[in-house]
């Protein structure tokens, strides 16, 4: 898409969304950020608020919206178990109605829409690594289902809008992402471990910590989103975006202890229900279609993330833990 385009970014005040807004504006585009501030934060976009090429439309994505745009990035939805289990009904409404509204805007304006789906649609996978052709292993009535099944329904709506109305759609399945602006109390494993390490609290492992995840630095993820949007209309996805390096939760905890110089003990809590035991993306399709693969290793991305969370924890650096 040529320079000077108008982009709508739903969830644009969130962790990933705010980085995407930065990239788009840096490339000379205009951005409309739609975010109700529930999990997104004004401080993530404060540096953009005075710019003439940025607007914040502060509303809930579940309410219909109509703005003149050239393309849509739909990222709005609580994304961590702590966030989405706080109000599971609202999470399902956001995943389904929010996507429906984004698709309806794309249909009426005849513009492309990129839908941010998730690796959680694979559930607790019986296949490792997870390719896009894998249909998943999800508990439809469990405590994680509001998000898992909400996103699965969002994908269903997306491809039905494509088939029925000819909407230009692109679906990406995002695996664990970390980096600056991730919320201190986000509830996901990277922010949890860093906060615990910085404060000297015990670092909590669920089970023995043998379960695995893959961790993609936010700049790499945003690059993947932009490349996906730039693909020809026939490239609908879904496409996995994530780091194919599989890391055990215990190894992550040890790495964060080392990076922070923490002596916090590791403690074991019971595994939550339906917690996936393995998570690793097959990114063959992203490599082929987008010429994309992560470039920032955990050893490089973690120190930057730790510094940002340290600033969130002690903005004036007056607390002893800083």
User: Treating both helix axes as pointing N-terminal to C-terminal, what angle do 218-229 and 15-26 enclose, rounded to 10 degrees?
Assistant: 60
Burial-class residue 234 by CB neighbours within 10 Å (0-12, 13-18, 19+): exposed
CA gap 264, 201 in Å, rounded: 6
Report the candidate in 292, 272, 246, 237 with the shortest Cα–Cα distance to residue 121: 237
Structure tokens at 88: 């599971």
Catalytic annotation present for 147: yes
CA gap 93, 104 in Å, rounded: 16
Give the gyration radius of the chain's Cα atoms: 19
CA gap 190, 176 in Å, rounded: 9
CA gap 117, 171 in Å, rounded: 7
Residue of 73, 122, 147, 178 with catalytic role: 147
Enumerate residues 6+ apart whose C-beta is below 8 A from 64.
101, 104
Enumerate residues 6+ apart whose C-beta is below 8 A from 172.
114, 115, 116, 117, 224, 225, 228, 237, 238, 239, 240, 241
What residues are labeled active site? 147
């Amino acid at each position: 898409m040529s320079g000077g385009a108008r982009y709508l970014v739903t969830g644009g005040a969130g962790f990933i969304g705010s980085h995407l807004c930065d990239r788009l504006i840096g490339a000379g585009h205009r951005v409309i950020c739609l975010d109700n501030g529930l999990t997104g934060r004004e401080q993530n976009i404060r540096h953009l608020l005075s710019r003439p090429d940025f607007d914040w439309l502060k509303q809930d994505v579940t309410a219909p919206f109509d703005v003149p745009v050239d393309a849509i990035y739909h990222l709005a939805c609580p994304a961590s178990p702590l966030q989405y289990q706080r109000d599971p009904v609202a999470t399902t409404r956001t995943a389904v109605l929010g996507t429906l509204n984004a698709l309806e805007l794309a249909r009426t304006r005849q513009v492309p829409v990129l839908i941010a789906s998730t690796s959680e649609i694979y559930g607790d996978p019986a296949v490792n690594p997870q390719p896009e052709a894998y249909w998943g292993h999800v508990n439809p009535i469990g405590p994680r289902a509001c998000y898992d099944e909400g996103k699965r329904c969002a994908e269903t709506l997306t491809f039905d809008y494509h088939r029925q109305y000819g909407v230009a759609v692109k679906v990406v399945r995002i695996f664990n992402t970390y980096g600056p602006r991730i919320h201190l109390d986000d509830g996901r494993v990277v922010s949890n471990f860093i906060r615990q390490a910085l404060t000297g609290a015990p670092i909590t492992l669920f089970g023995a910590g043998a379960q695995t995840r893959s961790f993609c630095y936010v700049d790499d993820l945003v690059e993947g989103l932009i490349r996906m949007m730039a693909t020809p209309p026939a490239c609908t996805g879904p496409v996995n975006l994530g780091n194919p390096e599989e890391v055990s939760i215990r190894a992550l905890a040890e790495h964060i202890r080392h990076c922070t110089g923490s002596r916090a003990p590791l403690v074991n809590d019971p595994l939550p229900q339906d917690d996936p035991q393995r998570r690793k993306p097959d990114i063959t399709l992203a490599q082929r279609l987008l010429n994309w693969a992560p470039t920032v290793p955990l050893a490089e991305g973690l120190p930057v993330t730790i510094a940002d969370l340290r600033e969130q924890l002690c903005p004036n650096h007056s607390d002893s833990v800083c």
